[in-house]
Structures are given as structure tokens and as C-alpha cells.
Amino acid sequence: MKRLRVPLRHALLSLGLIGLCATTAAQTPPPGRLLASNCFQCHGTNGKGPGFDKIAGESPDEIYKKLREFQSGKEGNGIMARHAMGYSDSQMRALSAWLSTQR
Amino acid sequence: MKRRDFLQRSNALLLATSPLLALADDDRSERRRRRRTETTPQPVPQPIPPGAARHRVIVVGGGMAGATVAKYLRLWGDTVEVFLIEPAASYTSNIMSSLVLTGQRSMSSLSFSYENLFNAYGVQVLTDTVTAIDPITCTVRLASGEQLSGDRIVLAPGIDFDPVPGLGNSDRMPHAWKAGPQTALLAQQLAAMPDNGVAVLTIPRTPYRCPPGPYERACLLADWMKKRKPRAKLVVLDANMDIVTEKDNFTKAFLGLHGNVIEYHNNAEVLSVDPATMSLTSRAGTIRNADVVNLIPRQRAGALVALSGLANATEGRFAAVDNLSYASTVAPLVHVIGDASATNQPKAGHIANQEAKVCADAIIRAFAGLAPDPAPVTNSACYSTITMREASWLTAVFQYDAVTRSMVPATASSAASSGWNGDNFEQMGTWFKALMGDSFS
């Protein structure tokens, strides 16, 4: 029985969140989230680090503008520039919009 | 199955098998406190409250793909209960493991715990081995004797090696291509090599895990030999007709920078070996009395894939999957991700992480009665050590092509660095930390 303590405690601690979970349990993934998750390997889960620059929570226009700069070669010919060249304009818009919701 | 039975059964399983729960409470809370101050992403979903689970996914294998899919199923799916079944108590990273051979990294720096997947995301981690799956009823049988059923199974068993004629059970020619005891063993053998010794590194036929990996290891070892084994030679026997990736950089490094150490042979597949005399017979000839042999054999999906009848691609080596969801083309409730699946994408940890996210998203959509995202994108990025202090980089973005129903590299994004430098070597450390964080915490 001793081993049950940890999961039970976890379960009890999270009881207060049940209501929250139930209301946010929208199982339709938000637009842009899966696309934006391509950023997480280098910029951290939800763009919040650890890793290279944190990219969460800026305005959609700021993130998009930055991506465009990389894509156009203005930021040089580094790994992020070449990476940005792999996305369409609408994909960059969609992932920027989702990243801006992460604060 | 009634909900109550379902929960009772999972509790029984946890009691029987989960090592994570066996830690002393004090130890756990101390570790948790420490971790909270160290890692950035805040735990988002809590362990699933009793009665809230509407679906269950069983993930088999806790490598880059398996850990990531387990985490993201919980992060993105509030009502999805996730079991991760993995025989090892912690994960040992293949990425960066060649640096153990040169003494630049410790084995412990490559070790990643599953604790955070449990603590922060509520993934139920079972240290056990799956001996069989039933792809129709979504049931897995465990070595401990338990059975576990779910709504979906995700297989992420990584790779297995082909037997090499003559090798038997000898440990004199380690692959060190699954990081672990073999990595430490190869490091010892290299350290014990005479100053004028001959080391051999063999590269298997594609597809194999981490396309640039053997070439970067060759470069790294060549640089290490110049410093530590000044008259030693490294013979590279490549089963392929040419360098398979990042050709400009590796050609320059092999012929130029490391030209006095590396002797490269293409079309040199190993046919047989004799560990007693440290000999190899390849298509390019025979080598006798080598001092060290790093023998990387040809690869196939982890055995469970073939055992389950899902190895239906690449001459029966890997699993064909729907590239929108990673569902097996012969068993729609079983998904195969990472190195075990057959796609146009490289077999490597960074892209396995992204395949896992596409798979998690598709499973969550399926539970809501929705079709997968019709246009998934994945990406690959990595750094290759060209010397002990300098690296190059390689990247590609893959877009889904609806006509061929496959992932296709976007031409403009498929690129490597022009040469190598110390900044890239530093960035490699940042990349590794970020990637492991996104996969394991």
C-alpha cells in the first residue's frame, strides 16, 4: 500500500483542476499548434526554452517578421535561415499566431 | 470494460511494476524541488484525475520518439491516459555519444530520467518489456506477465542490428551505435590502442540510424588520434557507393583536414569478421590485425515490429506508415514512429521528436472523431563534429505531399553549413539541451 501514496497524492492535488480540465478539454487542436511545435526542439516546449532564443509570447507580427527576415536571407545563411526557407507564408503566419498566445 | 475495472487494473499494474513510485518520499520531493528551480517549461497537465480518462494509449519504447509522443499526448490530450513501457530505467542518448569516445563527455551526461514525464505530465511509466502485441484488440503482453489494453498502441522500438557473419557474441568489435555499455567499451579499446594502431569504422547500407553519424564519428576520432595516437590510422569501410549525406563537408574533412589519418573506402560492405584475429572481409578487401574495430551493422526496426507483422516496407526491415498519422498501413490502431518506420525522413532523434508530435496530434484528433491534420510538417536539424572543437550543421524541413502521400524535403531548406567552426560546436550543446528538454521534460 505504501507505494500508492505518491499517485494518490498526485491525484488529490490535481482534483482542484478537474473543473478546469473539463472546460478546457477542447479536443480539437488549435490551429497552428502542430506547425509551431516544429520550433520546440530548439526553442523549448511551447517556445519557452531552454534552448535558443525564447520565441513565445511576442506579437504575431513580430514573430512573423523575424521569420521573414530569416527566410529572405537578411539574417545570413545560417541554420535558422535555411530552416525558415522550408515553410510557406501561410504556415509562418499560422505558427506565429499560435506562438503569440503562449505567455 | 467498465470504468472501475479499468482504473483498478491500472492501479494494480502501477503497484506491481512502476519503479518511479518506489523512491523514498523525501528523495522525491527534494528532487522535485530541485527540478522546479532548474527547468523552464512549467508542468502543464496534471496526472489524470481518477475517472477522467476517456482513452488510453500504450507507448512501447522510451527513446526520443516514445518519450516525446507520451509527453505530447498528455500535454495536448487532457483525457488521454498514457502508459510508457520501457525496459531501461533511464534513457541513454545516442546523440552526443561519440564524444564519450574522445573523453569529452561522460556516460552520465547522456542519461535522461523518465521521472519528469510522470511528475509533470502524468505519464505512467512501466519498467518492463513488451513481448507481444495484438494489433487488433490493442493489447500488449509484458514480460512481467501482465497484459494491458488501450485504444491505440504507439510502437517506438528504435532499431535492431543484423547479425554479422563470424561476430557471434564477441565484444571485441562494438557497434556503440546504441549508446550504453558498448560506448564505454569502445572508448576503453580506443584508449588502449597503440600510438601507431589501426582502427576500423564500418558504415552500413542505408537506411540506418543517424545518416551523418558515422562520418562525424570518423572525423572526431581522426582529430582525437592526431592528438592522442599520433601515428594511428582510421580506415573507414562504407557499404554505400558514396558518402550518404553532407557530402561537401565530409569529403573536405576526409581528404583534406584528416587526409593523413583517414583512409576512406566506398562500396566496402562488410561480409564477415573474425574477432579472434581482428579481421574483416569487405567488398573492398580484407583487413587483418586491426587494433580497434567499430563495427556498425546493417539495421532494421526493433524486433517487435516484425514480430507483430508490421515490417512491410524496405525489404521487410521497417514499418510502412500513413505519413499523416504514423498508423501502420496494415494495423490502423497501431502507430509506428521514429527509426522503426519507413518514410523519406532520416532516422534520427530530432525528427523522431517531430514525428511523435504529428502522431500525438493525429491520435488526439482521432479520439475526437476528426481526421489528421492534412498537411503536417516535420523538421530535421543536427550538428556534426568535424574536430574535437568544431562542428558543421545540417537541416531540412519536410512537407507532406498529398499526391505521393509522403513527406518531401523542401528544397530551399535542405542544406548544410559551408564548412565548420567553433560557434557551431557551441550551438550543438544548446541544441542538444533544448532537444532533450522538449523530449524528456
Query: Residues B84, B87, B93, B98: what is their CA dihedral angle, to the nearest 10 degrees?
Result: -160
Work out the average pLDDT over B304-321. 98
Looking at residue B52, its pLDDT comes to 78
Output the CA angle B162-B166-B170, nearest 5 degrees: 85
pLDDT confidence tier of residue B109, bands split at 50, 70 and 90? very high
Interface contact A38-B397, CB threshold 8 A: yes
Complex prediction ipTM: 0.88
- Whole-angstrom Cα distance, residue B170 to residue B156? 28
| Residues B127, B117 contacting (CB under 8 angstroms) | no
Lowest mean pLDDT among B17-26, B148-157, B207-216, B264-273: B17-26
Work out the average pLDDT over B301-321. 98
Interface contact B50-A11, CB threshold 8 A: yes
Work out the average pLDDT over B33-46. 46
Looking at residue A3, its pLDDT comes to 28
- Quick one: DSSP state of residue B257? I
Residue of higher predicted confidence among B144 and B32? B144
Interface contact B413-A77, CB threshold 8 A: no
Three cell numbers written together for B62 = 522510451
Interface contact B397-A86, CB threshold 8 A: yes
Lowest mean pLDDT among A20-29, B122-131, B208-217, B345-354: A20-29
Work out the average pLDDT over B66-88. 96
Interface contact B435-A42, CB threshold 8 A: yes
For residue B435, the chain A residue with the least C-alpha distance is A41
Interface contact B437-A13, CB threshold 8 A: no
- Whole-angstrom Cα distance, residue B441 to residue B225? 36
Three cell numbers written together for A1 = 500500500
Work out the average pLDDT over A66-95. 96
Task: Say if A89 is an interface residue toward chain B (CB within 8 Å).
Answer: no
Looking at residue A28, its pLDDT comes to 82
Residue of higher predicted confidence among B64 and B39? B64
Looking at residue B351, its pLDDT comes to 98
| Residues B139, B148 contacting (CB under 8 angstroms) | yes
How many helical (H) and strand (E) elements, i.e. helices and strands, does chain A have? 7, 0
For residue A31, the chain B residue with the least C-alpha distance is B373
pLDDT confidence tier of residue B46, bands split at 50, 70 and 90? low
Lowest mean pLDDT among B11-20, B189-198, B407-416: B11-20
Cα(first)–Cα(last) distance of chain B, in Å? 33
Does the structure show a pLDDT above 50 at A7? no
Does the structure show a pLDDT above 70 at B258? yes
B209–chain A nearest CA distance, Å: 19
Does the structure show a pLDDT above 50 at B123? yes
Work out the average pLDDT over B346-355. 98
Work out the average pLDDT over A31-57. 96
Output the CA angle B191-B196-B202, nearest 5 degrees: 70
| Residues B192, B206 contacting (CB under 8 angstroms) | no
> Widest CA span of chain A, in angstroms?
62
Three cell numbers written together for B126 = 512501466
Judging contacts by C-beta atoms under 8 Å, the chain A residues touching residue B395 are 79, 82-83
Mean pLDDT for all residues in chain B: 91
- Whole-angstrom Cα distance, residue B42 to residue B287? 54
- Quick one: DSSP state of residue A37? G
Three cell numbers written together for B398 = 519536410
